[in-house]
Amino acid sequence: MLGRILTRKIAMSVLVIAVATAMVTLGTFAYFSDSETSTGNTFGAGTLDLIVNGENPLSSAFAESNLYPGWSSTEPITVTNGGTIDGNTLTVSVQNLANDDNGCNEPEALVDTTCGVDPDGDLGAKMDIVIYDVDAAAPIWSGTLNQLAGAGSVSLGSLNASQTRNFELQGSIGTSVGNIIQSDAVTFDIVVDLTQN
């Protein structure tokens, strides 16, 4: 019996020593470590800023009067990306086009059977337009003003940050058009868009 008590005490002592050793080992055990901190981090958005003919926002408009068969005109369009990111898609479109018969004089009435009845004029259908890339020395688009209005957006390529490109809007009326456009008028908006995508 004394042997069992002694064995039990020895076993308990060994157990207490093992637990104490484990606690000491756990309390002093550690891996190497190091930590670095980057402070003052900032993010800033870039800009995409279209400037047309030196204006931002664009306030000027093209205005021509006294057009006639054989008339022609060239309007320069200079576009600049004043921003800090590239614009991948540069387009031009004609919107809100409205043809106006604007009355009906005798010479027009002889060739225009709807003159005075149909308020829509014929000038947009008879005016030829060419969008010309001056830098590439090549036409981009050609047709009538009415067709340009119906074409949607016409691609002019891209416009990188700080890049300037030069175009011309060339308008003309053929000599064979005759009296059908007398006194007619056409109004429209020209929209130049630059997008990142």
Dump pLDDT digits (tens) for 69-126.
Answer: 999 999 999 999 999 999 999 999 999 999 998 888 888 888 888 887 777 889 999 9
Q: Which residues pair with 90 in a beta bridge?
A: 157, 194
**In sequence order, which ranges of 29-131 are alpha helices (DSSP H)?**
106-111, 123-126
Residue 20 is assigned to a structural domain of this protein: no
Q: To which residue do tokens 């470590």 refer?
A: 33
pLDDT band with cut points at 50, 70 and 90 for residue 23:
low
Residue 19 included in any domain: no
Question: Cα separation of 148 and 125, whole Å?
Answer: 10
Residue 159 falls inside a structural domain? yes
CA 132 to centroid of chain Cα atoms? 20
* Residue closest to 77 by CA, chosen among 190, 167, 15, 185: 167
More confident residue, 14 or 125: 125
Residue 158 lies in a domain: yes
Rg (CA), the chain: 40
Q: Within a domain: residue 13? A: no
Give the CATH number for residue 119. Answer: 2.60.40
* AA identity, residue 135: D
Q: Which whole-number Å values give the CA distances from 112 to 46, 109, 117, 119, 176, in the listed order?
A: 55, 5, 10, 12, 15
- Which pLDDT band, with edges at 50, 70 and 90, does 196 fall under? very high
Residue 15 lies in a domain: no
125-181 pLDDT, tens digit each: 999 999 999 999 999 999 999 999 999 999 999 999 999 999 999 999 999 999 999
Query: What distance in Å separates the CA atoms of residue 145 and residue 175, rounded to the nearest whole number?
Result: 17
| Residue 55: pLDDT over 70 | yes
Strand extents, DSSP E, 4-105: 50-52, 72-81, 87-100
**The pLDDT value given to residue 197:** 84
Please list the residues that pair with 153 across neighbouring strands.
none
Q: Is residue 146 part of a domain?
A: yes
Q: Where are the beta strands (DSSP E) in the chain?
A: 50-52, 72-81, 87-100, 127-133, 138-144, 154-159, 164-173, 185-195
Please check whether residue 9 lies inside any domain of the structure.
Answer: no
What's the number of domains the chain is made of? Answer: 1
Residue numbers of the domain that contains 158: 50-58+65-195
Asked if 49 and 56 count as a contact pair (C-beta separation under 8 A), the reply is yes
**What amino acid is encoded at 181 in this protein?**
I
- Given a cut of 60, whether residue 25 has pLDDT beyond it is no
